Amino acid sequence: MKRIDLKVFTIAMAIAVVLSVSLSARAQDAAGLFKSKCAACHGADGTGSATGKKMGAHDFTTAEVQGLSDAQLTDIITNGKNKMPKYASLPPEQIKGLVAYIRTLKK
């Protein structure tokens, strides 16, 4: 019985390590994508650059933005909104990564 538990624990730990490396790489990819596509208007920290604020870019750290559903954020990124361009050419996984990254910017 203990031998099975040790095998299960070993397998679970291996899976956890693989997933954490994968998630960490995805987070880095999303951060790089945010920097290249979003930071010019929304700022590196999500609060908005000087140019972005003049254009009405939303502050991603606010409760208003953080209160949007993942589906709403995905729709805005995909289709654009107001002065924000659409990024429909991004693969769904990258858009999902951007949404996850935006979630990390809350106050």
Q: Residue 36 — very low, low, confident or very high, per pLDDT cuts 50/70/90?
A: very high
Measured from the Cβ of residue 57, the count of other Cβ atoms closer than 10 Å reads 21
Task: Over range 23-28, report the average pLDDT.
Answer: 53
pLDDT greater than 80 at residue 32:
yes
The Cα–Cα gap between 67 and 12 comes to 34
Give the residues across from 47 on adjacent strands: none
Count of H helices and E strands in the chain?
6, 0
pLDDT greater than 80 at residue 5:
no
The Cα–Cα gap between 89 and 44 comes to 22
The Cα–Cα gap between 78 and 49 comes to 21
Nearest to 97 by CA among 21, 46, 42, 30: 30
pLDDT > 90 fraction of the chain, expressed in percent and rounded: 71
Q: Please give the pLDDT value at position 11.
A: 74
CATH classification of 2-103, choosing from 3.40.605.10, 1.20.120.400, 1.10.760.10, 2.60.40.10?
A: 1.10.760.10
